Chains A and B, each alone.
Chain A
Amino acid sequence: MSEIPENLSYTEDHEWVGPNEGDGVKVGITDYAQDSLSDVVFVELPNVGDTYQRGEVMAVAESVKAASDIYAPIAGKIIAVNDKLEESPELVNESPYGSGWMVVIEPSEDMSALIDAESYKNSLD
Chain B
Amino acid sequence: MSLSQTCLHDEHVKLGAKMVDFAGWHMPIQYTGIVSEHKSVRERVGIFDVSHMGQIFISGDEASSFLSYVTTWDISKLADGDCRYCHILNDDGNIIDDTIVYTFDKKNFMLVPNASMISKVFNWLLSKSKNFSVKVDNKSEDYFCIAVQGPESLRLLRQYLNVSISPFKLTKLDDLIISGTGYTGEKGYEIIGPLSECLTVWQSFLDMGAIPIGLGARDTLRLEKGYLLSGTDFNGSQTTLESGYSWVIDWKHDFIGKEKLVSQKESDYASLSGILLEERGVLRPGLPVFFNGNQISKLTSGSLSPMLKRGIGLSYLDLPIGTNVNIQVRDKQLKGRVIHTPFL
A interface with B by C-beta (< 8 Å): 38-39, 41-42, 44, 60, 62-65, 67, 86
Contact = CB atoms under 8 A, between A and B. Distances in A.
Prevailing SS type, chain A contact patch = strand
A63 B34 contact: yes
Interface stretch (B69-77, B174-182, B277-285): B277-285
Q: Which 3 A-B pairs have the closest CB atoms?
A: A64-B34, A39-B35, A62-B282
A41 B35 contact: yes
B276 interface: no
B304 interface: yes
B216 interface: yes
17 contacts: A38-B33, A39-B36, A41-B35, A41-B282, A41-B304, A41-B306, A42-B280, A42-B281, A42-B282, A60-B330, A62-B282, A62-B304, A64-B35, A64-B303, A65-B34, A65-B216, A86-B280
Nearest to B33: A39
B30 interface: yes
A64 B284 CA distance: 9
B235 to A, nearest CB: 20
Q: Could you say which of B30, B281, B303, B304 has the most chain A C-beta atoms within 10 Å of its C-beta?
A: B304
Contacts of A39: 33-36
Counting chain A CB atoms within 10 Å of each CB, the highest count among B35, B284, B303 belongs to B35
| Chain B interface helix/strand/loop/mixed | mixed
A64 B216 contact: yes
Contact of A67 (B29, B33, B280, B282): B282
B284 A67 contact: yes
Contacts of A38: 18, 30, 33-34
A42 B330 contact: no
B280 A64 contact: no
B220 interface: yes
Contacts of B303: 64
A86 to B, nearest CB: 7
A62 B334 CA distance: 16
A71 to B, nearest CB: 15
Interface in B133-186: none
A39 B32 CA distance: 9
Scoring A60, A63, A64, A65 by chain B CB atoms within 10 A of each residue's CB, the highest score goes to A64
Nearest to A41: B304
Contacts of A64: 34-35, 216, 220, 282, 303-304, 306
Nearest to B304: A41
Interface in B29-56: 29-30, 33-36
Contacts of B281: 42, 44
Contacts of B216: 64-65
A16 B6 CA distance: 40
Contacts of B35: 39, 41, 64
